[in-house]
């Protein structure tokens, strides 16, 4: 029986595309049941639609505008996602912190892709922070990890960690390109490892 995943995005979706491509090439034997986006403008939604994958746009702003809480948002999102009973939820550029009220519905079956080494640059803009730290002479390398999702942001147990070198000749753009290339490989490896497929 094919294992079923749901992919969460908020933007470009190049990592979603890497998963789609791996499935279509037969490298990854699973099915994307749904792509969830926190942004209606996310290009990843176009990628999903082109691949025939159902999408759910679930922005936070209507909740904020209605004076509702992040918990209410998370509970409603969890109830929608639970209907699919996924084997795994993959956060691939999902830019919202999920509360325990969401996480606890899915029995630790949530993983997140983060463009930094464990404990190096948690949160948003990790690649930029790494580049600036390199320019200050504070680090010589960065990396990519996929980790289990727990309430503490980017503190979950890593599944895969891959170091990424930074060169003196790098610009932020060349470093971003190198990191994204590693991400597209690691995200597929992590799904295979987690699902043991």
Ligand X SMILES: NCC(=O)N[C@@H]1O[C@H](COP(=O)([O-])[O-])[C@@H](O)[C@H]1O
Q: Applying CB under 6 A, which residues contact ligand X? A: 9, 11-16, 44, 92-93, 113-115, 124, 126, 180, 183
Choosing among ligand LMY7XDAE, ligand X, none, which partner's interface includes residue 118 (Cβ < 5 to 8 Å by kind)? none
- Total interface residues for ligand LMY7XDAE by CB under 6 A: 15
The residue within the footprint of ligand LMY7XDAE, chosen from 82, 123, 172, 174 (CB under 6 A), is 123
The interface partner of residue 9, options being ligand LMY7XDAE, ligand X, none and the CB cut-off 5 to 8 Å by kind, is: ligand X
Residue 96 interacts with which of ligand LMY7XDAE, ligand X, none, CB < 5 to 8 Å by class? ligand LMY7XDAE
Taking the complex as a whole, the smallest distance from the CB of residue 1 to ligand X amounts, in Å, to 28
Closer of 86 and 115 to ligand X (Cβ): 115
- Which lies closer to ligand X via its Cβ, residue 8 or residue 196? 8
Is position 147 annotated as part of the catalytic site?
no
Helix 14-24 to helix 172-195 angle (10° resolution) is: 50
Alpha-carbon distance 7 to 36, whole Å?
6
Question: Do 79 and 58 meet the contact criterion of CB atoms below 8 Å apart?
Answer: no
Which positions touch ligand LMY7XDAE (CB under 6 A)? 91, 94-98, 112, 114, 123-124, 149, 151, 153-154, 156
């Amino acid at each position: 029986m094919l294992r079923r995943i749901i992919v969460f995005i908020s933007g470009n979706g190049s990592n979603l595309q890497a998963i789609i491509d791996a499935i279509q090439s037969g490298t990854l034997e699973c099915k994307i049941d749904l792509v969830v986006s926190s942004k209606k403008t996310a290009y990843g939604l176009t990628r999903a639609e082109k691949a025939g994958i159902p999408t759910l746009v679930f922005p936070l702003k209507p909740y904020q505008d209605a004076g509702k809480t992040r918990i209410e948002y998370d509970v409603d999102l969890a109830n929608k996602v639970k209907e699919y009973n996924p084997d795994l939820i993959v956060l691939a550029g999902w830019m919202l912190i999920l509360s325990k009220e969401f996480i606890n519905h899915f029995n630790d079956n949530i993983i997140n892709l983060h463009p930094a080494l464990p404990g190096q640059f948690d949160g948003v803009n990790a690649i930029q922070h790494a580049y600036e730290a390199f320019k200050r002479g504070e680090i010589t390398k960065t990396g990519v990890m996929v980790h289990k999702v727990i309430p503490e942001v980017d503190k979950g147990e890593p599944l895969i960690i891959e170091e990424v070198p930074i060169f003196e000749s790098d610009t932020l753009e060349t470093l971003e390109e190198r990191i994204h290339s590693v991400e597209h490989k690691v995200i597929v490896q992590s799904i295979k490892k987690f699902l043991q497929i």
